[in-house]
Structure 1
Amino acid sequence: MTLRPADSSALLVDGKLVPGSGGTFEVFNPATEELIGRAAEGTTADMDAAIAAARRAFDETEWARDHGFRARCLRQLCDALQSHIEELREITVAEVGAPVMLTNGPQLEGPIEDLRYWADLIETYSWEQDLGHASPMGIPTHRRLLKEAVGVVGAITPWNFPHQINFAKLGPALAAGNTIVLKPAPDTPWCAALVAKVIAEETEIPAGVVNVVTSTDHSLGAQLCSDPRVDLVSFTGSTATGRTVMATAAQTLKKVFLELGGKSAFIVLDDADIKGACSVAAFSVCVHAGQGCALSTRLLVPRARYEDALAAASAAMAGIRAGDPSARGTVCGPVISARQRARVESYLALAVEEGGTIVTGGGRPDDHQSGFFVEPTLIAGLDNSSRVAQEEIFGPVLVIIPYDNDDDAIRIANDSPYGLSGSVWGADPDRVAHVVAGVRTGTLSVNGGVWYSADAPFGGYKQSGIGREMGLAGFEEYLETKLVASPS
């Protein structure tokens, strides 16, 4: 299959769809390894032009101050994208390898619909607060607090959930009044390119407000981080790259938002339904082939129930097959690339070297001779100090670890450089509350509760990042605070 989305080989710079100065680069389907088309290869010159356009649009137009116009534009964008939903769905399955079932939610339709949340927030947000009168140093003064856009936002996004992460930056940044330069991952350029085309041709969003530069050149991300015309960098990706982003942005002391890695714990208390909870843990780590930073990849179970938990997780995982993402029943598709598959497989080999046992999976599925597939894999026999329990693998891999009591479970959960997400399953509300209070992480699901929503902030503790995305907290990441004092 060869997809040919219109203008897939175009950048969006200053309101125009233009070719990349570097020509084009190839786009592959991770489920088939087939070449499916090409995308525009942006260069440092293209990025410079995009930043200049964003700067002009912020400094010289009323975009940042016309709240009603921004709300209208975001609703226009939502409606226009909805009219392209099937084309977007086809692209998302083909270039991301995302199971088609996920495009009904966080892989596509959910993030697009969330644009309405940001439009509504513009109209309900308190852009000005009256602090009243005071007499500092004996001078009668009236004080007002104003909320204003930061300025030009540089957004750098990964390939695993491209629409979710692109719109989690575009939505609040634009709602707050900023202009933006988006550099999407080179593995998934078309998801951003079609959005760029819709913005240019089907909305009133002014020229320069949104710019999209696709490229395989990772130095363009560094260019966004170092350019003094960029006021804020919003980055989602690995913790290692996040450190580099932070260090580079520090040269101009720009604001930085970082949503980074995770090694989240799924804690099953001894009064929980062991079979049910462990089955959920096994299923969730296989969703989108485990390529989600917030997935819980460490299964912590009571030592006294370890064998029951192991059997339940193993049976559930063995029942999930890596398969064609375009098939309606597929949960676990391919990983994104040969390089990522090799990375996952290196961790499976490491697990055995460290003394662990591959209980289920551990190889490539026999019924897929092509495509970057990895079998859903359960690893046992290792403690929390092992590398496979400490490092983010980004594949359908679950490590099961026993604990001795509730406080021991908390200790193990917190024995990680990360603190992004997690789950707690138990029957006693007081015990569950104790564990929730003790685990240092940005989001926690209790007995299957869903934390993902446009109005709910998402982000992590420790090396999982800085700041929050989504919700009011995520919106305010893109705002500055101005105090205005006048005589009274």
Structure 2
Amino acid sequence: MTSNLLSTFDPRNGRLVARYPCADAAQVAQVCQRARQVFFDSWRVLPAARRSQALHSVAQYLRAHLAEFAAAEAADTGKSLAGAAGEVEGAAALWEYAAALARVEHSETLGSSTGSGLALTLREAMGVVGMIVPWNYPLITTAERLPFALAAGCSVVLKPSELAVGSLALLVAHLQENPLFPTDVVQLLYGAGAAVGQALTRHPAVDMIAFVGSTATGRAIETAAVACGKRVSAELGGNNQVLVYPDADLGAAADAVIAGGLRNGGQACIAGTHVLVDPMVADAFVLELEQALQRRYPAADATSLPAGLQPMITLQHKQRIQGLLQQGLQQGGHLLQGSRLDGPGQYLGPVLVDRVSADSILRQQEIFGPVITVCRVPAGQFNAIVADNHYGLAAYVWTGSSSTALAVVRQLRAGRIWVNANPEFWLPELPVGGFADSGVGREGGIRALETYSLPKAVIIN
């Protein structure tokens, strides 16, 4: 690697965490060519049982070194150690599930279609996958992709965000040292997306790009990758709606909105931050929302930092959110009790804004911070407002009626939907991905191997 160094900083206090050597274009090319060689020479021809064994060993390693991974994740992202530890356990569960999938047979035989011959389909690993993951949940977003690509037989070149590297550096170091994996079946590239990410996306040795990040960056990557003949799986931005019907359990709904919308400082793609509530119950719901905020994020006084609050990843990100808030309040939004428009260093919020119009900038822009908006509209207008949203990553429905829930679930175009539940509950068996501006393709779940492989048809006479 070059002498050009990438520095990461702890968002909680601004202290230097680590420095990593950035790759240049020549080194990106070298890594990609090496990944292609490993793919053809060893990993793709390894029996599925051996790949499964290797993946399972990673799950065991993550659990055995949970504290080390959690500390690295917390230092880069500002999470609490307990929150980061939960992510390590979630990542281990994903590696474990992918290990089981590696042994699932996914070919077809069409013996009766050819008379004396035989027709069949086989799955072929995609090849070299360039994987670009974000700063907010580096270990989890990688675990939703990397073990499934490996299970399919692919080799991977992984590029973490330049803001959060530590937990992935630990992971790849283990993969390089683990004798169950060929050397360099997974390689790590450090550097900015504009340089390293672009070079990875365009390199001819890379067959596929798997990306998680903003919609704008994702669309640019999709365009560049498709122009080079690559396949793309991309999980992009979310501007997620919470639908609160008049018959909902308002206390449970409000508590879940605070828990899910402000988790990770609101810096989560699936955060349910935009509430649509029927005016019949809006006043009661807003009161429950204020009380839930006080319970989950208590503060000694108006000048104290609320307990459990997570900082913004950078000062620039904080300032961007403050700019959006200023515009939203000028458009008529009302601050609710407990809101904080500022804080020390990179801390901000939490902020609850009531009486936000459907066309407010606070609803139209992906805020990606500790801001929850409340829009008071009749339940009969919910579907039209949601349909006007260009994102479709996640949605939340709160209702006491099973028929309403089923009707709404069928109507919503969102990749993940929670009904009367918060986003802390998910299963590795379920797919992740979005509609519209929230991305293309699906990761995880029973069909995850299809993302990282292609069928080939064979006729034998």
- TM-score in same-fold range (> 0.5): yes
Cα deviation for residue 24 of structure 1 reads 2.2
Q: Which digits, 9 at most, give the CA deviation of each residue in 1:153-180, with x for residues without a partner?
A: 0000000000001111211000000000
Matches within 5 A, 1:359-438: 359-360=336-337, 361-365=339-343, 369-370=344-345, 372-405=346-379, 407-438=380-411
Aligned to 2:302: none
2:124, 2:454 within 8 Å by CA — same for their partners in 1? Answer: yes
Q: Which digits, 9 at most, give the CA deviation of each residue in 1:34-72, with x for residues without a partner?
A: 112212222222211110111101122253442122112
Are residue 259 (structure 1) and residue 235 (structure 2) matched? yes
Aligned to 1:57: 38
Go from structure 1 to structure 2 and tell me whether the alpha carbon gap of 1:37 and 1:279 turns closer, same or farther (over 3 Å shift).
Answer: same
How many percent of aligned residue pairs carry the same amino acid? Answer: 28
The one of 250, 253, 260 equivalent to 1:284 is 260
TM score, norm. by length of structure 1: 0.89
2:260, 2:422 within 8 Å by CA — same for their partners in 1? Answer: no
Go from structure 1 to structure 2 and tell me whether the alpha carbon gap of 1:22 and 1:40 turns closer, same or farther (over 3 Å shift).
Answer: same
Cα deviation for residue 208 of structure 1 reads 2.5
Go from structure 1 to structure 2 and tell me whether the alpha carbon gap of 1:449 and 1:103 turns closer, same or farther (over 3 Å shift).
Answer: same
Task: Kindly tell me the number of residue pairs found equivalent between the two proteins.
Answer: 453
Go from structure 1 to structure 2 and tell me whether the alpha carbon gap of 1:64 and 1:187 turns closer, same or farther (over 3 Å shift).
Answer: farther
2:106, 2:122 within 8 Å by CA — same for their partners in 1? Answer: yes
2:110, 2:118 within 8 Å by CA — same for their partners in 1? Answer: yes
Aligned to 1:130: 109
3-state secondary structure, aligned to 2:102 = helix
Question: 2-side partners of 1:288 and 1:224: how far apart?
Answer: 29
Question: 1-side partners of 2:51 and 2:129: how far apart?
Answer: 16
Aligned to 1:3: none
1:102, 1:108 within 8 Å by CA — same for their partners in 2? Answer: no
The one of 230, 236, 239 equivalent to 2:215 is 239
Are residue 66 (structure 1) and residue 47 (structure 2) matched? yes
Structure 2 stretches of 5 or more lacking a match? 300-305
Segments of 4+ in structure 1 off by > 4 A?
A: none
Aligned to 1:351: 328
Q: Which digits, 9 at most, give the CA deviation of each residue in 1:187-224, with x for residues without a partner?
A: 01111111111111234211221111111353211112
The one of 6, 19, 22 equivalent to 1:38 is 19
3-state secondary structure, aligned to 1:229 = coil
Cα RMSD (Å):
1.9
TM score, norm. by length of structure 2: 0.94
Q: Which digits, 9 at most, give the CA deviation of each residue in 1:86-115, with x for residues without a partner?
A: 11111111111112222232x222112321
Mean Cα displacement is larger for which, 126-135 or 458-467? Answer: 126-135
Go from structure 1 to structure 2 and tell me whether the alpha carbon gap of 1:330 and 1:40 turns closer, same or farther (over 3 Å shift).
Answer: farther
The one of 85, 95, 99 equivalent to 1:119 is 99
Q: Which digits, 9 at most, give the CA deviation of each residue in 1:220-265, with x for residues without a partner?
A: 1111211121111000000001110111012222110010011111
Aligned to 1:171: 147
Question: 2-side partners of 1:330 and 1:140: how far apart?
Answer: 73
1:289, 1:333 within 8 Å by CA — same for their partners in 2? Answer: yes
Read off the aligned partner of 1:351 and give its amino acid letter: G
1:99, 1:332 within 8 Å by CA — same for their partners in 2? Answer: no
Aligned to 2:310: 333
2:391, 2:435 within 8 Å by CA — same for their partners in 1? Answer: yes
2:122, 2:455 within 8 Å by CA — same for their partners in 1? Answer: yes
Aligned to 2:303: none
Matches within 5 A, 1:144-183: 144-183=120-159
Go from structure 1 to structure 2 and tell me whether the alpha carbon gap of 1:95 and 1:461 turns closer, same or farther (over 3 Å shift).
Answer: same
Matches within 5 A, 1:213-232: 213-216=189-192, 218-232=194-208
Are residue 443 (structure 1) and residue 422 (structure 2) matched? no
